[in-house]
Structure 1
């Protein structure tokens, strides 16, 4: 294992004059992670004092690397207006189950999000609970969990993931999660149904993370892009509940939770009223703030109006509820100081190499942890035309486990950009392994998704799990341990014991793929059956 201590003697302290084959400095990358994830940066929460500190660090590093300001008007940043929402004090939430009042403690039985529909109070009284299965309405698949039920003023209780998750086959492509399985979709559909609230039942396997992650991600400050009609997108009460609470709810209604979950996996499922109502009362402080995306750029020498993007999100969860040790700072070392450090190191490499034909943009986006909001805003208000953006390589949670024989991307995608990445990987002796956990819906959980929705060929790169030291078994074990013990928890901290042997190989592959695309005249396409191809095709005439 090549630890930081072992690499110290070989550290390159100054950026070399790169030719076509740059040498990446793992120690410098690690130091950037250490800085960004230190307690001094307070978890890099958007719209906190840490945001200015983070922007200053990233722009200083970009400038020192030799990048040019890439934001509007020659600035380093792009303004991102956001709705910021906080629950004031402790929310009063209680269930009435079979004549018994059961108060719910925020962060324990329930994780309620601050309302994002523009309201300054949530006041629900005796709102009936209705189990709507997976909460999916997918006419193209012949699936409708609602069957015309009137849910206005009611609370939807839904399962997470797709109806296929448990059985592994069916109308939703088996274990691979579709967007219908994402909790974000459940809330959106609740708004379309006119519901007063949506309670997502947490279970570890279909959610792909534990309750600690749910609690930490949903009980702090919430954000959304500024919407013309926020009530059309958000119900007043958006929350998760523990599985044990759901079991009690079903039992009080004379039903077995597991039996009802099985029933919900069939097309003929119909909504079922539960023998319970919900009260919720709390104030919400909602205000519009401005966060920032950060952009560095290297103009192309022959086709400067065509762009290749490298991206990573700079934000994390900030300061939140304390863990068992009393730690309240969610440092976000791997998620995603590692991605930003990788972005900076790639910027240094391209800045000290011969200029590419197309322009390269290094985009550090805000509010990924709040719903991919910085990238969504960029996709809606791009600084550089999306029609002539050849592709995007996103980086999220980049290293810490060691060099791997393989590499992967988040989720499932069929596009020429992945073909390019595979071809460049082959040259380096790296094998592409499809995402081993497509049931987690990884494709919809990183910033490349915001660009894909706009038609731009985009992938989120992931280091492999077939480790040089320990193979797949060790890679999977380390990944599972990170998800369980560190992901979205204060324990996601920089460590001097990290194995940095993956930094060089992964950044070399990303550099080579981006350079090949930037020096080519090719325009990667989506596959014929990809849901994003039609959007891309709308702008085909603008690409030559």
Structure 2
């Protein structure tokens, strides 16, 4: 989950939805009622201490998976997972590669004759290798500054300019070239996928780089160094890949801004001047004179198997066409103690609320008077907190063809408080699915509040993105902040308190004073959107300028 889920939103109106969305939003019978007490009980259960923070490949996972299967059965869903003896089971097996350091990594930066050891977690945050290595031994690898590390032919943009990265470490800026100025070829302040750190690693790997070091700056990253440290210096997970080195350089890591500034200075370059140049097409990659990096560490590598949990309502007319509701079941497990000595990261809001919504959404569809024309899948994915891995695996190995997947509606960290007058989505992307959601929200008394921080790239940080990048129209619903009781002031105060006191902390625990009336008010809207799509022959499309439109178009023949 991302902090943006409960971050402040600016309430504003929108224009008319597209004609396609209006056509899909025709009058319908009343949506089902969602019981706040049932939602509360599910969140209370899955965030209990006995679930041990729901980390993948732990006893907490086994308990969570068993509980979700029991809930899906009780809700009236059919199993929708892997085929077992010709019949569907309740889960999809997700092989994950788990890597850990064997002893502290030794990292040394040298410029000229000066050698400096970089402290893991303080000056540098190196990940336990995911390229298939069990040991990393790098001796004085040259360093090359490659600006934002973007290669975008459709924008006539290439930061690499043919530089040979074999045997070298690329030093790269986070976000994309428009962040500083707010205008340009990359959507202004709104981050494109080229700005995501995952893209930086993948692109450098495609170019044969030995390693990548991303320069951390809080504003363009949208999070502080503590998040980088916690996310990159402990156990790492990735889906099992046939060629992991094709997307992972041997060394992947981040460095503090002051380390990068000093590195470039000692190599005869000015950091700010180079960053400004990197915002233009004229930028040229810079081999950092007399600069090199050495690294020594051993890796424990093993393959573990986690589970996605999958329920399904089969369509009565076109069962091979699928609408997906998704939510991640995992959280951070047992970790470092807080000031009170609590070590269990319970994950009540993140994402116990999404699980409760998923179970009850399944119940609503399964108990409907008439089954939908298309199939509806309820997908609880693993390892979201480790990089959207459960949804990434589903996207790579789909149980139901992505070309015939109508849309994905993701639910991540919904508000357990009272109702709001508005709602939002995680990030933004132009699509008829978004149009439909906004149009139908009016019938539920909800206004759409666009993401006020598109530069943070929140669209790429929830499970719906694993589907969007493969062309499937997808969005992630976010609770509103203009509360009926207290307005924007109360909503923003609640958001700030959650972020500061409970987000990714042991204090994210179920509370008896949560009313869950906000979720109970919003979920009928999400039901109506899915129901409309499940009983339609329409296929929502991405906007003409969307980076996801071309890949969706490639599968158009499957939908005839």
Same fold (TM over 0.5): yes
Residues 1:205 and 2:215 aligned together: no
Change (3 A) 1:201 1:488: farther
Q: Is the 8 A contact 2:36 2:515 kept in 1?
A: no
Tell me the residue number matched to 1:366. Answer: 382
Alpha-carbon distance between aligned partners in 1 of 2:171 and 2:514, rounded to the nearest angstrom:
42
Alignment of 1:417-496 (within 5 A): 417-472=433-488, 474-476=490-492, 478-480=494-496, 482-483=498-499, 486-496=502-512
Tell me the residue number matched to 2:163. Answer: 149
Which secondary structure state, in structure 2, belongs to the residue aligned with residue 293 of structure 1?
A: strand
Alignment of 1:74-89 (within 5 A): 74-89=88-103
Tell me the residue number matched to 1:11. Answer: none
Alpha-carbon distance between aligned partners in 1 of 2:429 and 2:531, rounded to the nearest angstrom:
21
Q: Is the 8 A contact 1:42 1:331 kept in 2?
A: yes
Tell me the residue number matched to 2:554. Answer: 538
How far apart are residue 460 of structure 1 and its match?
A: 1.2
Worse-superposed segment, 181-190 or 260-269: 260-269
**Which of 48, 52, 68 matches 1:42?**
52
Q: Is the 8 A contact 1:210 1:484 kept in 2?
A: no
Alpha-carbon distance between aligned partners in 2 of 1:72 and 1:252, rounded to the nearest angstrom:
56
Which secondary structure state, in structure 2, belongs to the residue aligned with residue 502 of structure 1?
A: helix
Residues 1:54 and 2:67 aligned together: no
How far apart are residue 182 of structure 1 and its match?
A: 0.1
Residues 1:106 and 2:116 aligned together: no
Tell me the residue number matched to 1:94. Answer: 108
Change (3 A) 1:124 1:497: farther
Describe the superposition over 1:220-250 as per-residue Cα deviations: whole angstroms up to 9, x where unpaired: 2222222222111111111122223323323
Tell me the residue number matched to 2:26. Answer: none
**Which of 233, 242, 264 matches 2:278?**
264
Alpha-carbon distance between aligned partners in 2 of 1:483 and 1:114, rounded to the nearest angstrom:
28
Which secondary structure state, in structure 2, belongs to the residue aligned with residue 103 of structure 1?
A: strand
Residues 1:188 and 2:202 aligned together: yes
Alpha-carbon distance between aligned partners in 2 of 1:420 and 1:200, rounded to the nearest angstrom:
38
Describe the superposition over 1:346-379 as per-residue Cα deviations: whole angstroms up to 9, x where unpaired: 1122222223222221001112222222212212
Any stretches of 5+ residues in structure 1 without a counterpart?
1-18
Residues 1:230 and 2:240 aligned together: no
Which secondary structure state, in structure 1, belongs to the residue aligned with residue 53 of structure 2?
A: coil
Describe the superposition over 1:407-465 as per-residue Cα deviations: whole angstroms up to 9, x where unpaired: 22222222221122112101112112222211111222121122123322211111223
Residues 1:308 and 2:295 aligned together: no
Q: TM-score, normalization: structure 2?
A: 0.88
Worse-superposed segment, 32-41 or 386-395: 32-41
Describe the superposition over 1:370-423 as per-residue Cα deviations: whole angstroms up to 9, x where unpaired: 222221221222222323322110111211454322222222222221122112
**Which of 293, 300, 306 matches 1:278?**
293
Alignment of 1:393-408 (within 5 A): 393-400=409-416, 402-408=418-424
Residues 1:288 and 2:298 aligned together: no
Q: Which has the higher contact order (CA 8 A, sep 6+)?
A: 2
Alpha-carbon distance between aligned partners in 1 of 2:254 and 2:327, rounded to the nearest angstrom:
27
Q: How many pairs are equivalent?
A: 526
Alignment of 1:63-82 (within 5 A): 63-73=73-83, 74-82=88-96
Alpha-carbon distance between aligned partners in 1 of 2:417 and 2:257, rounded to the nearest angstrom:
32
Tell me the residue number matched to 1:121. Answer: 135
Q: TM-score, normalization: structure 1?
A: 0.90
Alignment of 1:331-346 (within 5 A): 331-346=346-361
How far apart are residue 107 of structure 1 and its match?
A: 2.2
Alpha-carbon distance between aligned partners in 1 of 2:326 and 2:460, rounded to the nearest angstrom:
16
Describe the superposition over 1:250-301 as per-residue Cα deviations: whole angstroms up to 9, x where unpaired: 3433444333322322221222344542221111111222221110112223
Alpha-carbon distance between aligned partners in 2 of 1:326 and 1:160, rounded to the nearest angstrom:
35
Residues 1:519 and 2:535 aligned together: yes
Q: Is the 8 A contact 1:213 1:487 kept in 2?
A: no
Any stretches of 5+ residues in structure 2 without a counterpart?
1-28
Alpha-carbon distance between aligned partners in 1 of 2:506 and 2:118, rounded to the nearest angstrom:
24
Change (3 A) 1:153 1:407: same
Tell me the residue number matched to 1:500. Answer: 516
How far apart are residue 97 of structure 1 and its match?
A: 4.5
Tell me the residue number matched to 1:350. Answer: 365
How far apart are residue 89 of structure 1 and its match?
A: 2.4
Query: CA-atom RMSD, angstroms?
Result: 2.3
How far apart are residue 183 of structure 1 and its match?
A: 0.2
Change (3 A) 1:481 1:126: farther
Change (3 A) 1:491 1:121: farther
Tell me the residue number matched to 1:16. Answer: none
Alpha-carbon distance between aligned partners in 2 of 1:94 and 1:321, rounded to the nearest angstrom:
28
Change (3 A) 1:109 1:417: same
**Which of 162, 177, 181 matches 1:167?**
181
Describe the superposition over 1:458-486 as per-residue Cα deviations: whole angstroms up to 9, x where unpaired: 11111223333444455445445544554
